[in-house]
Structure 1
Amino acid sequence: MTQAQTPPAAADNGGAKQLAPPVVAAAGDEAAQRKKLEDWLPITGSRKAKWWYSAFHNLTAMVGAGVLSLPFAMSRMGWGPGVVVLILSWAITLFTLWQMVEMHEMVPGKRFDRYHELGQHAFGEKLGLYIVVPQQLLVEVGTCIVYSVTGGNSMKKVHDSICNNCPTFRTSWWIVIFSSVNFVLCHLPNFNSMSVISFVAAAMSISYSTIAWAASLARGVQPDVSYAIKSRSAADATFNFFTSLGDVAFAYAGHSVALEIQATIPSTPEKPSKGPMWRGVILAYIGVAFCYFPVAILGYYIFGDSVADNVLIGLEHPSWLIAVANIFVVIHVIGGYQVFAMPVFDMMETFMVVKLKLPPSSILRFVSRTVYVAITMLVAIAVPFFGSLLGFLGGFAFAPTSYFLPCIMWLKLYKPKPFSLSWTVNWTCIVLGLLLMTLSPIGALRNIILSAKDYTFFS
């Protein structure tokens, strides 16, 4: 019986040997297809970035036109709370960005090139997607829409400042003109191909921030300046404070693209990407401090509680300087739009190729990106209160992605000893981030309700 049973066993072994090569070949084909897709996608299509690329990508993503509203946020918080919130936000988001840089290659031989990939590693394949992707998309798509509105408004201000007697155009037309530039630039194939645009945008952000605080300082402290919290009641002051927290949170939205920026940097076991990425982050955060703190503090110091929600508006003269500053704003938000749109393009193109089984091609890329820019343009035109709506929704996305979601991942993956320094700092950031996420939408929702009677779609 033993001899009789030997041939089948041998046949089984032979069958296994015959099946092995196709299985290996199939795995090899799948890996090759994945490699081909990664080489085509905009995030991983080029890994030749220098460390300074990460500096101006991060600076462009972080310093948005929202910096011009920081003096107004200060006027609703007051000197003490306002300065504390600004400093804490800068320090906490620098710490959480360091954590993301460290976690990018925490698994030897593997890179988490996208925020949701790190989320999947921390929380599981499906749960990681459900936690990260909606928040990341809200930040990125919402920022693109806000930048479309900001770009259109700034172009209108340039026109009105230069030509007082010219016929005026509705803001909607300026948004269309602004978006027409993005219709062209959105077809740049990958992150590295837009490095020059990002560099120019970063330079513009520093330039108009410098104009804002230097021109305010040159104007001098206004007569009868007051630093009292302007409000009709204690409830009004409280809700305005909550709204200002959301404005500050919006100013630190760059984390949603941080891992995608790091993915463009080459990496080897001897020289991992975290070294050059961190050098770029440090330089970017020095730029952030140079932009945020002088604008916020000097703008509030000069104008007090009468400061406009855009400090450039309060300057008024000289008109040529205001026009130049708004031109810089337009150029910056064009680059900022592209930085935030690139990860969205990556998600869209991955979904269409992997899930819908569409072949990767230039036609697919052209159509999908054109449709995306068109949608953001239409929403910017149609919903005049999107800024307030973003303040409501953004509290649920801007605060987690920048303030505490990296801390939760760090605690889950590295498991620091309870009550150690790492454990304590991370839990402190989580608690403060949760407060920010809870409180800032409350103020924004109240603003939407109070102003709803004045809203007109396509205005």
Structure 2
Amino acid sequence: MGTQAPPEDAYHSSIEQKLARQKEIDDWLPITSSRNAKWWYSAFHNVTAMVGAGVLGLPYAMAQLGWGPGVAVLVLSWVITLYTLWQMVEMHEMVPGRRFDRYHELGQYAFGEKLGLYIVVPQQLIVEVGVCVVYMVTGGKSLKKFHDLVCDDCKPIKLTYFIMIFASVHFVLSHLPNFNSIAGVSLAAAVMSLSYSTIAWAASAAKGVQEDVQYGYKAKTAAGTVFNFFSALGDVAFAYAGHNVVLEIQATIPSTPEKPSKGPMWRGVVVAYIVVALCYFPVALVGYWMFGNAVEDNILISLKKPAWIIAMANIFVVIHVIGSYQIYAMPVFDMMETLLVKRLHFRPSRTLRFVVRNFYVAATMFVGMTFPFFGGLLAFFGGFAFAPTTYFLPCVMWLAIYKPRKYSLSWWTNWICIVLGVMLMVVSPIGGLRTIILQAKHYKFYS
């Protein structure tokens, strides 16, 4: 009897064991394992997450929207998404001594343990998995375009094979353990996004305004014009989609009560948004100005010459979407690994990580090969999931947590963003779905 530990000691011992296991898991999971990022990591991670392949579809979106609405939607989106991004940076550490390292953790604090998960996780997964699938298609298409430009008399190769080549890179890169370990890939991707955006608008400007250019709506019917308008709103929403990984990026920055992470994070976000403006506005406006409503859904396809510059831009796109895929895949890896280790009690190991990540890359490759309707996919995903997580979910959380005074400036600002975001979420998938249906008529599987 004398050797038996007192119940209190046993209780403390079990708590210490739980905390030690929790720390071991956190040190292994990709989001929380490394917290030594600098502010410039935030800048190029955010550029890589934001300036995706969507920028190349902006002149096409402008053609569907027209000059006035197009410019208004672009500018409004830039302002609203910068505001909602600021809110997320602020909310990361609003509870002293606690960090909301993941989007769904913030959702759970705002809406409750279960409801927060049900609201945030499905939308975040749709965005992140959707982006990875679309980037599989984009990477494959850009590789195919590069091959066709460099070797125009070669035997044509199916798009399916190029998507597989693009995926093969990710079977290697996906085994980098966390956000900080992909910093080099992300920096290269950020530089490439600025490079191919510059090539896109500079080559368009050099080409000059085309003869018989028209700026009227392309669709012959009123219904077609309206659906195209809705679809274009989804394309713009897709272009501003970096919010889904912003808390996860901020989680990698060190934080103390004297120096909270929101300082360096916000500095990085401001730099990133300046780069976003330098990429988006010239591409959208110059591309539409030069080609009018005849512009393709990827501006590089409209620019057929000089071939070497367009080939180079396509390779830049490939390098960029390699980095972007990794940025969006990392939170998904984190979710899958958290579920397996915390809920299903698998042991954190390299084997587990190897199986999980290879499975994810293979799954996104398979879906990308099966459904490569690039333009329609952008609009559908853009409205369905990007609008909530980017345009208004941060505002709903802000109202739920901070409860600003009714009819104050903060209250009005958030409600305006929520109303605009909900309208965007409702109308743009309608246009995107119609585009997918129209393109699917002429589509052969695994072509």
Q: TM-score scaled to structure 2, two decimals? A: 0.97
Displacement of 1:451 after TM fit?
3.4
1:153 aligns with 2:152: no
1:37 aligns with 2:25: yes
Paired residue for 2:432? 444
Q: How far, CA to CA, are the matches of 1:231 and 1:21 in structure 2? A: 76
Displacement of 1:310 after TM fit?
1.1
Equivalent pair of 1:119/1:409 in contact (CA under 8 Å): yes
Which stretch of the first structure deviates more once superposed, 375-384 or 132-141? Answer: 375-384
- Show CA shifts across 1:249-306 (max 9, x none): 0001110000000000000000000000000000000000000000000001111111
Paired residue for 2:273? 285
Equivalent pair of 2:57/2:299 in contact (CA under 8 Å): yes
Paired residue for 1:3? none
Equivalent pair of 2:236/2:382 in contact (CA under 8 Å): no
Q: How far, CA to CA, are the matches of 1:257 and 1:121 in structure 2? A: 18
Paired residue for 2:351? 363
1:93 aligns with 2:43: no
1:316 aligns with 2:287: no
Displacement of 1:388 after TM fit?
2.3
Paired residue for 1:9? none
Counterpart amino acid of 2:27? D
Paired residue for 1:136? 124
Runs of at least 5 residues in structure 1 that lack an aligned partner in the other structure: 1-16
Displacement of 1:63 after TM fit?
0.3
Which of 233, 247, 254 in structure 2 is aligned with 1:259? Answer: 247
Paired residue for 1:175? 163
Equivalent pair of 2:189/2:319 in contact (CA under 8 Å): yes
Counterpart amino acid of 2:9? P
Paired residue for 1:406? 394
Q: How far, CA to CA, are the matches of 1:393 and 1:317 in structure 2? A: 32
Displacement of 1:18 after TM fit?
2.7
Equivalent pair of 1:231/1:237 in contact (CA under 8 Å): yes
Equivalent pair of 2:238/2:378 in contact (CA under 8 Å): no
Paired residue for 2:195? 207
- After superposing on structure 2, the runs of 4+ consecutive aligned residues of structure 1 that deviate more than 4 Å are none
1:196 aligns with 2:184: yes
Which of 245, 249, 254 in structure 1 is aligned with 2:237? Answer: 249
Paired residue for 1:18? 6
Q: How far, CA to CA, are the matches of 1:308 and 1:367 in structure 2? A: 39
Q: How far, CA to CA, are the matches of 1:290 and 1:281 in structure 2? A: 14
Q: Any residues of structure 2 matched to 1:48-59 within 5 Å, and which?
A: 48-59=36-47
Aligned residues: percent identity? 68
Change (3 A) 1:328 1:389: closer
Paired residue for 1:106? 94
Equivalent pair of 1:138/1:394 in contact (CA under 8 Å): no
- Show CA shifts across 1:16-41 (max 9, x none): x9322211221121111111111100
Equivalent pair of 1:380/1:386 in contact (CA under 8 Å): no
Equivalent pair of 2:234/2:381 in contact (CA under 8 Å): no
Paired residue for 2:217? 229
Displacement of 1:393 after TM fit?
4.3
Paired residue for 2:315? 327
Q: Any residues of structure 2 matched to 1:366-445 within 5 Å, and which?
A: 366-385=354-373, 388-389=376-377, 391-445=379-433
- Show CA shifts across 1:390-421 (max 9, x none): 53344221000000000000000000001100
Q: TM-score scaled to structure 1, two decimals? A: 0.95
Equivalent pair of 2:369/2:446 in contact (CA under 8 Å): yes
Whichever of the two has the greater Rg, that structure is 1
Q: How far, CA to CA, are the matches of 1:387 and 1:73 in structure 2? A: 10
CA RMSD of aligned residues (A): 1.1
Runs of at least 5 residues in structure 2 that lack an aligned partner in the other structure: none
Counterpart amino acid of 1:340? Y
1:220 aligns with 2:222: no
Displacement of 1:448 after TM fit?
2.7
Q: Secondary structure at 1:454's aligned position in 2?
A: coil
Q: How far, CA to CA, are the matches of 2:443 and 2:150 in structure 1? A: 29
Q: Secondary structure at 1:24's aligned position in 2?
A: helix
Counterpart amino acid of 1:257? V
Counterpart amino acid of 2:288? Y
Q: How far, CA to CA, are the matches of 2:287 and 2:373 in structure 1? A: 25
Q: How many residues align?
A: 443
Q: Secondary structure at 2:6's aligned position in 1?
A: helix
Q: How far, CA to CA, are the matches of 1:90 and 1:232 in structure 2? A: 31
Paired residue for 1:14? none
